[in-house]
Amino acid sequence: MDPIPVTATELRIRARELIQRVHYYNECYRIENFGRPMAVIISCQEFEELQALLKQQQIALSPPHAVNGHKLDTSRRARKKP
């Protein structure tokens, strides 16, 4: 869903209404100041879902820490010259 653009002034005037619309109707608002996007208002449920997705992505992209209980040595060691 694309966020609905709202000016910072409009947010100040209609804050309670917009928050209720986010909560009850799952709307999303992009707050703009002089035409520049500054923030987004989303529901708590949507925020928690995004946080969970980010956490899953970080876990998937992180290097493996251990295999069979042993730490993996991923460092490169300089060979000693004879």
Q: Would you list the domain boundaries of the chain?
A: 4-61
pTM over 0.85: no
Distances (CA, A) of 47 to 18, 22, 53: 16, 12, 10
Return the pLDDT at 68. 56
Tokens of 68: 């069979």
For 54-80, the pLDDT digits (tens) are: 999 888 887 766 555 556 566 666 666
Residue of higher predicted confidence among 5 and 79:
5
The answer to whether 64 and 44 are in contact (CB under 8 A) is no
Return the pLDDT at 63. 73
For 15-65, the pLDDT digits (tens) are: 999 999 999 999 999 999 999 999 999 999 999 999 999 999 888 887 766
In CATH terms, the fold of domain 4-61 is YefM-like fold (3.40.1620)
